Amino acid sequence: EVQLVESGGGLIQPGGSLRLSCAASGFTVSSQYMSWVRQAPGKGLEWVSIIYSDNSGGSTYYVDSVKGRFTISRDNSKNTVYLQMNSLRAEDTAMYYCTVWDCSSTSCADYWGQGTLVTVSS
């Protein structure tokens, strides 16, 4: 069974840093495209970052608003994906979800973690 469990969120002052973790089970993170999506309180979904599978070169991408501040990475030995967030701003306050698609030859399914809440405030 595929499961994603996020952790690492919390209350942090502006300018601070946090590292979010997404521990995966039921599949290997190195073989899938792993994404982070966030949702500010009462707002819509915002795609944040992705790391491609090893087979696709492991490339990483970011939404413009976090480029240079956030870094996505993975530890294959721990089957975990990370989002290092530096220079945090009030507008980074959101629930952060880790997500992955699992596609067979006939269909796709998505999996999401329960989310971890990041609050940036003084």
Partner 1 sequence: EIVLTQSPGTLSLSPGERATLSCRASQSVSSNNLAWYQQKPGQAPRLLIYGASSRATGIPDRFSGSGSGTDFTLTISRLEPEDFAVYYCQQYGSSPPWTFGQGTKVEIK
User: Which range in 7-15, 20-28, 76-84, 95-103 contacts partner 1 by CB under 8 A?
Assistant: 95-103
SS3 106: coil
Please select the residue that binds partner 1; options are 8, 40, 115, 119, rule is CB under 8 A: 115
Give the per-residue contact string, 59-88, with partner 1 (x = CB under 8 A; - = no): --xxxx------------------------
What is the layout of strands, in order, in the sheet containing 18-25?
Answer: 3-7, 18-25, 80-85, 70-75
Tally the residues of the chain. 122
Nearest approach, Cβ of residue 63 and partner 1 (Å) = 5
Nearest approach, Cβ of residue 7 and partner 1 (Å) = 15
Give the Å distances, CA to CA, from 79 to 12, 23, 39, 41: 26, 6, 24, 29
Nearest approach, Cβ of residue 25 and partner 1 (Å) = 17
Nearest approach, Cβ of residue 77 and partner 1 (Å) = 26
Binding to partner 1, residues 10-49 (CB under 8 A):
35, 37, 44-47
Give the Å distances, CA to CA, from 111 to 1, 24, 61, 93, 95: 10, 10, 20, 23, 16
Binding site for partner 1 (CB under 8 A): 35, 37, 44-47, 50, 61-64, 97, 99, 101, 107-110, 112-115
